Chains A and B, each alone.
Chain A
């Protein structure tokens, strides 16, 4: 018996559980076909924490989530889409132009963003919670992840690139870098996920198509 066939037999054992097949059934299409292909299950997870590491604000991190937020806020039983302590004003007309139902957006300006974030994630009143965290101990990330699971909420955490050195409990961790000359594309790299393809993908933001 060759090594490969023995391997195949071994893998048939029911106790063995492979990462690729463990993709959740409950996912949210990202709106980018290339991204859907490489994410486990073919989209963003519906519950849990996504950590997106970005070099600075404005590299396309909001464009990345706009199609998903538009789909979430337009469901008939849509819950809130909460923005916890956003660094600037989320511009409502632009959100509307991207298809987000503005009336489901909730903005929370909290000096203690972490507390508000945990409340929003765990309350079950939000479909998605967006937050910007400069430094966050791994212990807190674990708490946030548990809160998101409790509230069946998708938490999107934007963190600086140096957070890559810290361990994380988030379901998905990825990095986004600007790409291209005109700032209309980004390079997305999956750093940590349960399954999925960890290779860089070039994404073109929808404004380029207009």
Chain B
């Protein structure tokens, strides 16, 4: 028989990848399948019984039309007999039959019962078939053609069962199979490893499948300028002059259900370059009162070189805004959240004090005290607070060995007779702790840390350098 071309429908039935002429090099083996569609359904919708009669397909028959006709008759005869088991019988010439038996299993005494019945029907016309049962017709056929009495009822197991079968059972064109074999691809499982994306890509490449693309849209921005009737020097009238611009901005944002995270306000002067002040927000903002308040805070700290002739508002990219939902509880009450008010506070403080003045704390895995903590952005930090508690670093040293106050820079202490002094003599308590680390990143420390008590009853954390000149430093106060 002439080799069949691969039809699209087979690819679909298999619900699994089957690339055609895809090079196999450098592709990672995929995780053990089954494909997602199959794993979801515990019970197959269909069960196909393939009847393969090995003796009927002989290459030498190809040239003999009489033998071919005889063979077709035999297959039809078999199909007629098979129709007593199920109404859905398909011919797979020249040597196969497919029976959908899901509905008939119960009637004929389960899988074994129906197999025996079919076998005895075949024996009546002197055929010795191989029977295989699988959720897809092609898989059943492949199993039967491979000479295996495959019985797969669980779709999730299908791929694992058919993976070791040779590619020849699929009856792909000879040329394709030999070409794949030369690449080392010999079994169905090896083909399945390519993944279905490659096939989809090829289909899109050749235009057999639609390939929708999302269109690029230039980000919208707000930009308005207003020329003042007369020059302004003070921030209050400036804020009044900016109010209509802010109003316009909030209307612009409201119609788009969006907010901004950055607002730039430019104040143009007669000679001097424009004064620029930038407001940054933790979350997208569209509230005019809040914008007005924050801008007011910022303007009060601004030092103007000259009177202002014109002002301009420019927004950064606008961002879809989540509309706030009100809580039944007050903030801080049981069930109440800090919610929006926490980012409002941070924005307000930052608008007046600068972004660096407001920060959160972080524990870092380092033995050097100055590197064991870090300042982080509190806004992103609060997002991260949802993470599990286990992720938060537990310090490796015994609790309470560290002071609650750390001096930003160790303070050099005076000495008398080799012992440190700080507002009087110091009494060293307990054992020292040696911290000697950081040689790999240039911040090498070699110190012996002591706890000391000063004359006024304050516990201090001191260290003595391990390298000459062995000076004493104050590094912390226990609190």
Q: Is B319 an interface residue (CB 8 A)?
A: no
Minimum distance in angstroms from A101 CB to a CB of chain B: 8
| 19 additional A-B residue pairs with CB within 8 Å, beyond A77-B338, A91-B372 | A56-B458, A58-B405, A58-B479, A63-B478, A77-B335, A87-B405, A89-B405, A91-B476, A94-B403, A96-B392, A102-B362, A103-B382, A104-B385, A116-B349, A119-B348, A124-B338, A180-B457, A207-B478, A210-B399
Q: Mark A93-115, 1 if CB is under 8 A from B, else 0.
A: 11111100111111111110001
Q: Mark B420-464, 1 if CB is under 8 A from A, else 0.
A: 000000000100000000000000000000000100111110000
Q: Is A62 an interface residue (CB 8 A)?
A: yes
Top-6 shortest CB links A-B:
A178-B457, A62-B479, A92-B373, A207-B400, A97-B399, A94-B402
Q: Is A51 an interface residue (CB 8 A)?
A: no
Q: Is B125 an interface residue (CB 8 A)?
A: no
User: What B residues does A91 contact at CB under 8 A?
Assistant: 369, 372-373, 402-406, 476
Cross-chain contact B402 with A77 (CB below 8 angstroms): no
Q: How far is the CA of A89 from the CA of B362 in the complex (A)?
A: 12
Q: How large is the interface on B (under 10, 10 to 19, 20 to 34, 35 or more residues)?
A: 35 or more
Q: Which of A87, A110, A115, A182 contacts B453 (CB 8 A)?
A: A182
User: What A residues does B399 contact at CB under 8 A?
Assistant: 97-98, 210
User: Contacts A88-B477, A91-B402, A125-B331: A110 and B373 contacting too (C-beta < 8 A)?
Assistant: no
Q: Is B381 an interface residue (CB 8 A)?
A: yes
Cross-chain contact B360 with A124 (CB below 8 angstroms): no
Q: How far is the CA of A180 from the CA of B405 in the complex (A)?
A: 21
Q: Which residues of B contact A (CB under 8 A)?
A: 330-338, 341-342, 344-346, 348-349, 352-353, 356-363, 369, 372-375, 378, 381-382, 384-385, 392-395, 397-408, 429, 453, 456-460, 476-479
30 A-B residue contacts at CB 8 Å? Answer: A56-B456, A56-B458, A57-B477, A58-B478, A59-B457, A77-B333, A77-B335, A77-B337, A78-B338, A79-B342, A88-B407, A89-B408, A90-B404, A91-B372, A92-B363, A93-B363, A93-B372, A96-B394, A97-B399, A98-B399, A101-B385, A105-B360, A106-B378, A107-B375, A115-B352, A119-B348, A123-B341, A123-B344, A126-B345, A183-B458
The prevalent SS among residues of B at the interface is mixed
Cross-chain contact B373 with A178 (CB below 8 angstroms): no
Nearest CB in chain A to that of B365: its residue: A93
Q: Is A55 an interface residue (CB 8 A)?
A: yes
User: What B residues does A175 contact at CB under 8 A?
Assistant: none
Q: Is A60 an interface residue (CB 8 A)?
A: yes
User: What A residues does B335 contact at CB under 8 A?
Assistant: 77
Nearest CB in chain B to that of A111: its residue: B353
Cross-chain contact B400 with A107 (CB below 8 angstroms): no
Cross-chain contact A106 with B331 (CB below 8 angstroms): no
Cross-chain contact B360 with A107 (CB below 8 angstroms): yes
Q: How far is the CA of A115 from the CA of B397 in the complex (A)?
A: 38
Nearest CB in chain B to that of A55: its residue: B456
Q: How far is the CA of A98 from the CA of B395 in the complex (A)?
A: 11
Q: Mark A197-210, 1 if CB is under 8 A from B, else 0.
A: 00000000011001
Q: How far is the CA of A77 from the CA of B407 in the complex (A)?
A: 32
User: Contacts A97-B395, A119-B345, A125-B331: A80 and B362 contacting too (C-beta < 8 A)?
Assistant: no
Cross-chain contact B402 with A97 (CB below 8 angstroms): yes
User: Contacts A91-B476, A107-B361: A125 and B459 contacting too (C-beta < 8 A)?
Assistant: no
Interface centre among A89, A109, A178, A182 (most CB of B within 10 A): A89
Interface centre among B334, B353, B372 (most CB of A within 10 A): B353
Minimum distance in angstroms from A124 CB to a CB of chain B: 4
Cross-chain contact B457 with A108 (CB below 8 angstroms): no
User: Contacts A58-B478, A61-B479: A125 and B341 contacting too (C-beta < 8 A)?
Assistant: yes
Q: How far is the CA of A111 from the CA of B334 in the complex (A)?
A: 34
Interface centre among B348, B349, B361, B362 (most CB of A within 10 A): B361
Cross-chain contact B459 with A58 (CB below 8 angstroms): yes
Cross-chain contact B405 with A108 (CB below 8 angstroms): no
User: Contacts A102-B392, A103-B384: A96 and B363 contacting too (C-beta < 8 A)?
Assistant: yes
User: What A residues does B381 contact at CB under 8 A?
Assistant: 103
User: What B residues does A98 contact at CB under 8 A?
Assistant: 399-400, 404
Q: Which of A77, A108, A126, A207 contacts B353 (CB 8 A)?
A: A108
Cross-chain contact B479 with A109 (CB below 8 angstroms): no
Cross-chain contact B429 with A182 (CB below 8 angstroms): yes
Q: Which of A61, A89, A93, A182 contacts B407 (CB 8 A)?
A: A89
Cross-chain contact A58 with B344 (CB below 8 angstroms): no
Q: How far is the CA of A56 from the CA of B393 in the complex (A)?
A: 32
Q: How far is the CA of A126 from the CA of B458 in the complex (A)?
A: 30
Q: Is A159 an interface residue (CB 8 A)?
A: no
User: What A residues does B385 contact at CB under 8 A?
Assistant: 101, 103-104
Minimum distance in angstroms from A182 CB to a CB of chain B: 6
Q: How far is the CA of A124 from the CA of B358 in the complex (A)?
A: 17
Cross-chain contact A178 with B456 (CB below 8 angstroms): yes
